[in-house]
Chains A and B, each alone.
Chain A
Amino acid sequence: GAGVSQSPSNKVTEKGKDVELRCDPISGHTALYWYRQSLGQGLEFLIYFQGNSAPDKSGLPSDRFSAERTGGSVSTLTIQRTQQEDSAVYLCASSLAGGFSETQYFGPGTRLLVL
C-alpha cells in the first residue's frame, strides 16, 4: 500500500514568510509524528498526534510553530515568520496505534530552506 507522503518535497522561502508543510500518513495509522532533522544531527521530536489530538506540544521549538491534524489523517505543520535557523528537513512518521515498541514509518521529508 501507499506509504507516508509529504509535500512539498522542497521549499525555499524568504525570512519572515509563513510556510505550511503537509503529511499524509499511512491509511489506518492513528499515531503521527513530526520531527526535524538538521544537518549532522539526529532527529528532533516536534509533536505527536493520537487521532486528532496532540497530548503534548512542548517539543515545538517556539510559538511560531504549530500543527494540526484533521479527520485523524492529514497533518499540517505551520511555521510562521520563518527564520534562517528553521532551515532543516522536516520528517513526518506514522504508526499503527502509537506505542513504545511500534515501528514508525517515515515519509521522504520536506527540505526547507529559509533565505
Chain B
Amino acid sequence: AQSVTQLDSQVPVFEEAPVELRCNYSSSVSVYLFWYVQYPNQGLQLLLKYLSGSTLVKGINGFEAEFNKSQTSFHLRKPSVHISDTAEYFCAVSNMMDSNYQLIWGAGTKLIIKP
C-alpha cells in the first residue's frame, strides 16, 4: 500500500532563514507528487506538483520541491521565509492504482515563523 511520511510535525524557523520540509513516500508504481498549503482559517490550496520532466519543480510564493526517485522523496524548500508563510503544509501522492484518483496524504507539517 502507498503511504506518505512527513517526518516533522512542526518546523520552527526564523524569518528570512531557509527552510526544508521533508516528505517521503512509498509506492511500487510511478507517482505524481503534490504539496498543498493550508493557511490559518483558509482552505487547502495547491503549492506545486510534480508530474514529469525536470525533477525540480517551482511553485507559488517562492517555494520549490525536488523529486528524488531513488530516495522516494519530495522535499519542499524555500531559501528565505516570511511571516506570511506560516501555515500547515501537506505532501500528497497520486495513487495510480486507484480508479478513484484519490490522493494519499501525509500528516502535515506546521511551519512556524519566528520573528
Q: Could you list which residues of chain A lie within 8 angstroms of chain B, going by C-beta atoms?
A: 3-4, 31, 33, 35, 40-45, 48, 55-56, 59, 91, 93, 95, 98-109
B11 lies within 8 A of chain A by Cβ: no
Neighbour of A99 across the interface among B42, B101, B104, B105, CB < 8 A: B101
How many residue-residue contacts, CB under 8 A, span A and B? Answer: 64
Contact status of A40 and B9, CB under 8 A, knowing A100-B32, A106-B45, A108-B43: yes
A40-B9, A42-B90, A42-B108 given as contacts; is B101 within 8 A of A98 (CB)?
Answer: yes
Q: Does B100 contact A (CB under 8 A)?
A: yes
Q: Which of B43, B95, B106 has the most CB of A within 10 A?
A: B43
Task: Name the distance in Å between A63's Cβ and chain B's nearest Cβ.
Answer: 19
A-B contact pairs, 11 of them (CB 8 A): A40-B9, A42-B105, A44-B105, A45-B102, A45-B103, A45-B104, A99-B101, A104-B103, A108-B42, A108-B43, A109-B43
Which chain A positions have C-beta within 8 A of B92?
43
Q: How far is the CA of A106 from the CA of B43 in the complex (A)?
A: 6
- Complex Cα distance, B9 from A45, in Å, reads 20
Which residues of B7-54 have CB atoms within 8 Å of chain A's CB atoms?
9, 32, 36, 42-46, 49, 51
Partner of B100, one of A3, A43, A56: A56
Q: Which residues of B contact A44 (CB under 8 A)?
A: 105
Complex contact B108–A103 (CB within 8 A): no
A24 and B9 CA atoms in complex are apart in Å by 31
Q: Are A42 and B100 in contact (CB under 8 A)?
A: no
Q: In the assembled complex, which residues on chain B have CB atoms less than 8 Å from the CB atom of A100?
A: 32, 94-96, 101
Contacts of B104 in A (CB 8 A): 45
> CA of A4 to CA of B51 in the docked complex: distance in angstroms?
24
Shortest Cβ distance from A42 into B: residue: B105
